[in-house]
Amino acid sequence: MTSILILLLVAVVIIVAGASMRRKAAVRLQPSTDPEPLPDADPEPVPITEPEPMPQPEPPPPQPEPQPTIIVSDEREPQVRPSLGQPTPPPVAAIIREPKSERKRMSRIVKGGLIQTSLACDTSESLDTIREAQIERTLKYVDQAGAEGVQILCMQEIFTGPYFCAEQTTRWYDATEKIPDGPTTKLMQEYAKKYNMVIVVPLYEEEETGVYYNTAAVIDADGKYLGKYRKNHIPHVAPGFWEKFYFRPGNLGYPVFETAYAKLGVYICYDRHFPEGARELGLAGAEIVMNPSATVAGLSEYLWKLEQPAHAVANGYFVGAINRVGYEAPWNIGEFYGQSYFCDPRGQMLAVGPRDKDALVTADLDMDKIREVRNTWQFYRDRRPETYNGIVKL
């Protein structure tokens, strides 16, 4: 009996021990939610180290200074968009209408002067008296021009007398003189040399008895006679321009004179209605064209500030237009309205004289303007003389 009890007791112990071992194994298989028990002794101190700094990105390199934008005219053919089939216009910023030339040059300014006067004495006086009175009145303005530094000067048409073509009488044939050997040309040569001034001298010229021209002598700044221009277009129209009675048409063409200051051409009064001669002067190299005139209110005044600025634009040069002033015999039917002026190659007025007063009209003419305008408006390049045959048909 005792043996049986001992065996039962041993079996119970084995069973209990096995269950305990199974519980421990199960506990090891699951994570513990309880905190670790603190050790009995103080732990070793853990050394504290600074965290390594995070690597920073390299700063970007400094941006280079922006280069100045150079805008130039884009004259290439427009590109075609394949998708739309439409030309792509150049950007607006790529167009410069009038680029400045990069060529370095000294500015060339020429001071021009124009003299407009009324008649200095009555036409009932002798021709010599009329001539002397007109010269005396004009020389006052020549002296003023010299004092003001004028370099190129011009008077009105046949400045030594009245505009006598309103009547047809042989009396006025005796108002002619030789060029260059006549007294007025010789006198103006002295003044040109005195003031170092180019002078255009409009006179009634006698080539020989019975052959007379409406002429302008050109004198250089050293007093040298350079040559003359004879009026080519001679009117014979009412109410009083009976010029064919007095003048033979010019036979010297359209000369351009190389003066000390500029290349100079001359057109006289009625010539201004004809663009062909104005173009001839431009083709011959004129930089300044003087047009001494005698023109009256009521007939051509509306053209006065229209035609000659148009010549200046079409040909790219300066124009000096001169008109006489006031009322005079034998032209007793209207007023000579003055308003002498200079205009530039754009046709812009630089200076305009009074309508009813004697005056010296001056302006500074910038010769660089000619190049600027001709580089913009290529009228000489684009002209088609081979197509103008009809103009020269007789």
**Residue 269 among the catalytic residues:** yes
State how far the Cα of 337 lies from the Cα of 294, in Å rounded to an integer: 9
Q: Which of 157, 205, 287, 328 is catalytic?
A: 157
SS (H, E, C) 118-161: CCCCCCCCCHHHHHHHHHHHHHHHHHHHHHCCCCEEECCCCCCC
On whether the CB atoms of residues 228 and 251 are closer than 8 A, the answer is no
State how far the Cα of 212 lies from the Cα of 247, in Å rounded to an integer: 5
On whether the CB atoms of residues 358 and 325 are closer than 8 A, the answer is yes
On whether the CB atoms of residues 367 and 108 are closer than 8 A, the answer is yes
SS (H, E, C) 56-87: CCCCCCCCCCCCCCCCCCCCCCCEECCCCCCE
Output the CA torsion sign for 153, 155, 156, 158.
Answer: negative
Q: Which of 121, 154, 177, 231 is catalytic?
A: 231
**Residue 244 among the catalytic residues:** no
**Residue 243 among the catalytic residues:** no
Q: How many CA atoms lie within 13 A of 28 on its CB side?
A: 6
Q: What kind and span of H or E run contains 365?
A: strand 359-366
State how far the Cα of 35 lies from the Cα of 79, in Å rounded to an integer: 80
- 3-class DSSP assignment, residue 370: helix
State how far the Cα of 337 lies from the Cα of 333, in Å rounded to an integer: 13
Q: Which of 205, 269, 280, 343 is catalytic?
A: 269
Output the CA torsion sign for 330, 336, 338, 344.
Answer: negative
Which positions are annotated as active-site residues? 157, 231, 269
